[in-house]
């Protein structure tokens, strides 16, 4: 059992001694990665401290209390790095983990397709072996950061003669090569975080395969498990910004940034202590601190946040993810109720610079990201509660014989 107080004290001392807001972001992330305090739950061999969940949270809290900017966040740190540590080859670990830990390399995720969203095993993008390379053709969609990412994780079909779950393989892909065409998709927030990505004769070296040929479904499940864990109601990724940041800019300029590039600030404001502070400020703005009805609604949300913190790490990832999306909706609904018509405004002259409006527009997407709420309930029912599985008529049919839309 790790002494959480000792970890907090040690981490705080390190941050107080090393944090300099004028240091360039790239240099700060380099120092932070090699100290182990950027990702304290990672193994010591790979830029971490090997700490358990409670101790790692204490280290993140020490960083926040000092006011230091956190380690990189996003797909690379939440999903790619943990999976490479588990199933990547030593060469892949050496090639990619340092770039992830230091924030030099941004990654995206080429999973979903127009005809394969919740049914990920139904992807049709194909990878065909050509000597020491694979040639990839197909289309992906809802790719966060695809227009600026350096690398991608890719699920593609390598065998159509076996059932769909057994014909997939998992690859690491260089996004800056010919044949890759990301096209941003405008969201109702006005941002263009997502992309559709077209792949035409894209070449992938054979040693960029993760796991065995045909084991892509199992690797993808590992990735999704890490993603859902990061979306737990009490998750703590360190509070970093996910995006294409200027590594030459002062690290201090990103601390408490009012607006993150991809809407993550609005999502962060619906979680944990930031949500509590936001609701208290909404109470003040509405002049309802003494209104028992308003206070009761806010206290209910506070209680759910504290329960989530107590339960953090104890729930199955799908349950944690469901709890997270429901809690964020409660925060959103309570903030909008308190602000009234002002909660519909956006821009610099809106309450909280439009943060609550951004939250209202972003939170619904979290019920889709990382697997829809409906999929999570299926997983909980079947794997956690032992309920009968839903009928899957295509489970044992060769993929080439499965009806895809209106064609086979």
Which letter does DSSP use for residue 384 in this model? I
Q: Assign residue 293 the CATH number of its domain.
A: 1.20.140
31-44 per-position pLDDT tens digit: 999 999 999 999 99
The pair of structure tokens assigned to 18 is: 């090393």
**What mean pLDDT do residues 47-64 have?**
92
Is residue 390, in this structure, part of any structural domain at all? no
**Which pLDDT band, with edges at 50, 70 and 90, does 232 fall under?**
low
Give the catalytic positions in this structure: 227
Domain boundary among 227, 249, 282: 227
Asked if residue 235 belongs to a domain, the reply is no
**Is 94 within a domain?**
no
Which tens digits make up the pLDDT trace of 342-389?
888 888 888 888 889 888 888 888 888 777 888 889 888 988 889 998
261 is in which domain, residue-wise?
257-371
Residue 317 confidence (pLDDT): 78
Whether residue 238 is contained in a domain is answered as: no
End-to-end CA distance of the chain, in Å?
Answer: 55
Average pLDDT, stretch 254-278? Answer: 70
What pTM was computed for the model?
Answer: 0.83
Radius of gyration of the chain (CA): 22
H/E run at residue 321: helix 317-339
On whether both 61 and 157 belong to a single domain, the answer is no
Q: Are residues 218 and 263 in the same domain?
A: no
Same domain, 301 and 354: yes
Same domain, residue pair 261 and 222: no
Is 248 inside a domain boundary? no
Verify that 67 and 121 share a domain, yes or no. Answer: no
| Boundary of a domain, candidates 50, 71, 92 | 71
CA 100 – CA 151 distance, rounded (Å): 10
Contacts of 291 (CB under 8 A, 6+ apart): none
Judgement on whether residues 310 and 215 belong to the same structural domain of the protein: no
Please give the average per-residue pLDDT across 175-180, as a whole number: 96
State the pLDDT confidence band at 239, using cuts at 50, 70 and 90: very low
Is residue 277 a part of any domain in this protein? yes
Measure Cα distances from 108 to 124, 367, 373, 388 in Å: 19, 19, 22, 35
Asked if 101 and 71 touch (Cβ cutoff 8 Å), the reply is: yes
For residue 290, give the 3-state DSSP assignment.
coil
Q: What letter would DSSP give residue 122? A: G
Q: Per residue in 271-291, pLDDT tens?
A: 788 889 999 999 999 999 999
- Band of pLDDT at residue 136, cut at 50, 70 and 90: very high
Is 134 among the domain residues?
yes
Are 262 and 328 part of one and the same domain? yes
């Amino acid at each position: 059992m790790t002494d959480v107080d000792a970890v907090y004290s040690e981490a705080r001392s390190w941050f107080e001694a090393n944090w300099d807001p004028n240091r360039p972001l790239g240099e700060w992330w380099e120092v932070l990665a090699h100290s182990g305090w950027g990702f304290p739950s990672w193994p010591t061999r790979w830029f971490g401290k090997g700490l358990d969940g409670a101790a790692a949270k204490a280290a993140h809290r020490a960083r926040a209390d000092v006011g230091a900017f956190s380690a990189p966040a996003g797909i690379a740190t939440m999903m790619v790095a943990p999976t490479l540590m588990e199933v990547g080859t030593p060469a892949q670990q050496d090639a990619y983990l340092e770039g992830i830990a230091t924030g030099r390399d941004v990654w995206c995720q080429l999973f979903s397709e127009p005809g394969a969203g919740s049914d990920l095993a139904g992807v049709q993008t194909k990878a065909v072996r050509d000597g020491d390379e694979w040639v990839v053709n197909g289309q992906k969609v809802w790719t966060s950061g695809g227009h600026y990412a350096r690398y991608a994780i890719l699920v593609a079909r390598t065998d159509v003669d076996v059932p769909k779950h057994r014909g997939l393989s998992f690859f690491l892909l260089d996004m800056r090569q010919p044949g890759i065409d990301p096209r941003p998709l405008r969201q109702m927030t006005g941002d263009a975080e997502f992309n559709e990505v077209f792949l035409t004769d894209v070449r992938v070296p054979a040693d960029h395969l993760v796991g065995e040929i045909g084991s892509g479904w199992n690797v993808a499940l590992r990735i999704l498990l890490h993603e859902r864990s990061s979306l737990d109601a009490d998750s703590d990724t360190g509070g970093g910004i996910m995006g294409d940041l200027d590594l030459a800019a002062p690290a201090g300029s990103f601390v408490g940034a009012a607006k993150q590039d991809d809407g993550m600030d609005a999502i962060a404001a619906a979680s944990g202590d930031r949500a509590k502070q936001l609701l208290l400020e909404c109470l003040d703005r509405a002049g309802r601190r003494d209104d028992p009805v308003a206070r009761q609604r806010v206290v209910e949300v506070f209680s759910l946040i504290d329960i989530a913190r107590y339960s953090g790490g104890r729930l199955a990832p799908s349950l944690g993810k469901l709890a997270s999306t429901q809690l964020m909706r409660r925060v959103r609904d309570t903030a909008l109720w308190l602000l009234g018509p002002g909660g519909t405004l956006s821009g610099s002259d809106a309450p909280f610079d439009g943060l609550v409006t951004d939250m209202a527009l972003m939170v619904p997407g979290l019920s889709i990201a990382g697997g829809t709420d409906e999929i999570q309930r299926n997983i909980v029912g079947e794997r956690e509660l032992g309920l009968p599985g839903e009928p899957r008529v295509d489970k044992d049919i060769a993929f080439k014989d499965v009806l895809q839309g209106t064609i086979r």
